[in-house]
């Protein structure tokens, strides 16, 4: 089996609570982002863009999430607010993959959104191939317009995923996978 097949067969997500510094450096991150762009893209529209959160920018985004949570849940105690803030304070580097899918004469928006999903998956695989752990998460705030606006997204843009990347502190046990017999049929058989 080639290294690529071994990686694809065994890769699994590492949740942010098990990710720590160091994250990818500038050059490694550049590779992860470049590999992210190397996906099927019907019509060559590049219907996605990336926002990198690290350092002070990551802290600022975490505070935006905390304040949005507080505004929606005024009764929440400090621990609950801190829990929400912490969602963006664990992995040292987080990349938001933003879907910029728009109506197009030929390419359905669905296909543009699928391409953004492929970007997320490529980034996960690239991060793992470099020895990092990574997770593809959305969380409630990916669907909160106030948070999205504060993070700089336009009204016609959506989050395909936040890719949390860092050094794994633990290797999570694998989870159950679908049984092929349940999901595969051979047409005409």
The residues binding ligand FMN (CB under 6 A) are 12-13, 135-139, 161, 175
- Using the minimum distance from each CB to ligand FMN, give the nearer residue, 54 or 135: 135
CA distance 34 to 49: 11
98 close to 153: Cβ distance less than 8 angstroms: yes
- Using the minimum distance from each CB to ligand FMN, give the nearer residue, 30 or 131: 131
Residue 110 assigned to a binding site: no
Closest separation in Å from C-beta 138 to ligand FMN: 4
Residue 11 assigned to a binding site: yes
Return the number of other C-beta atoms located less than 10 Å from residue 73's C-beta: 12
- Using the minimum distance from each CB to ligand FMN, give the nearer residue, 110 or 187: 110
164 close to 134: Cβ distance less than 8 angstroms: yes
Q: Where are the beta strands (DSSP E) in the chain?
A: 19-20, 48-53, 93-99, 133-137, 158-168
Residue 49 assigned to a binding site: no
Residue 13 assigned to a binding site: yes
Q: Binding site: which residues?
A: 11-13, 38, 42, 136-138
Q: Binding site for FMN: which residues?
A: 11-13, 38, 42, 136-138
């Amino acid at each position: 089996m080639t290294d690529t097949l071994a990686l694809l067969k065994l890769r699994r997500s590492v949740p942010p609570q098990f990710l720590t510094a160091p994250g990818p450096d500038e050059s490694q991150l550049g590779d992860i982002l470049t590999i992210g762009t190397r996906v099927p893209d019907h019509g060559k529209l590049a219907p996605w863009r990336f926002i990198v959160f690290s350092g002070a920018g990551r802290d600022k985004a975490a505070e935006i999430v905390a304040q949005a949570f507080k505004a929606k849940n005024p009764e929440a105690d400090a621990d609950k607010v801190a829990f929400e803030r912490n969602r963006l304070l664990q992995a040292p580097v987080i990349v938001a993959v933003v879907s910029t899918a728009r109506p197009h004469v030929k390419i359905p928006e669905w296909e543009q959104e699928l391409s953004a999903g492929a970007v997320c998956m490529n980034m996960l695989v690239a991060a793992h191939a470099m020895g990092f752990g990574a997770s593809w998460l959305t969380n409630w705030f990916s669907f909160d317009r106030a948070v999205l606006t504060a993070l700089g997204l336009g009204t016609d843009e959506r989050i395909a995923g936040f890719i949390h990347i860092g050094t794994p502190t633990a290797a999570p046990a694998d989870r159950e996978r679908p049984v092929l017999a349940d999901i595969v049929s051979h047409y005409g058989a």
